[in-house]
Amino acid sequence: MYQYILEEGRDPLFYFKTKYGLKYFVSFRRMNFDGDFFENLYSVDFGETNNQKFFRDPNVELTITAIINDYLLKNPHLILHYVCDNVDFKQDFRKELFDKWYRKTQKDVFSKVNFQYVIPGESVNYHLGFIFKNEYYEFQEVVEKVNLHLEEFTNLK
């Protein structure tokens, strides 16, 4: 695992550099959703800062998952949300990668739920995921609330 640096601000941002000289970031951004249930919803995003080619480096996975796990443990009331980027049509690969990473975590402490969403009139599948601490949120309630918001979003289109 690589050593990482936290840059404090309104939204936490973590950086680390690999043995190959690649610089990665992991950011957590508070989302603005209506309603009390999602008042602690944060999006998580990560990537290589210069869009350079990825070298197979297992320490990248270890570092990113450690940052996410540590952040959730220090902020147990949060729900983390992510959308798999689809700009290069590799969202299915990204979803599987995130699922693999999750399977290596403490599943008795955290839950993860996946959603697949297609915007009416588009043919692209969007993969959304939500990770939360079991002692703060009921799995079924998260599913119901997210489905309700997705339905409302669809009706706005």
- The pLDDT assigned to 82 comes to 86
Q: Which residue in 87, 88, 112, 89 sits closest to 101, CA to CA?
A: 112
pLDDT along the chain (157 residues), means of 10: 88 91 92 82 88 81 91 92 72 76 76 84 81 92 90 73
Paired tokens of 119? 């915007």
> What are the E-state strand segments in 18-144?
23-30, 41-48, 79-83, 110-118, 125-133
pLDDT recorded at residue 157: 57
Structure confidence at residue 86 (pLDDT): 65
Written as six digits, the tokens of 21 are 């000289």
Q: In this structure, what token pair is assigned to residue 22?
A: 């690649």
* pLDDT value, residue 35: 73
Residue 106: its pLDDT value, please? 65
Angle, to 10 degrees, between the axis of helix 58-74 and the axis of helix 91-103?
70
Domain-wise residue ranges, the chain: 5-156
DSSP string covering 115-145, please?
EEEE-TT---EEEEEEEEETTT--HHHHHHH
Nearest alpha carbon to residue 114 among 128, 103, 124:
128
Architecture of domain 5-156: 3-Layer(aba) Sandwich (3.40)
Strands 79-83 and 41-48: parallel
Query: What's the pLDDT at 87?
Result: 66
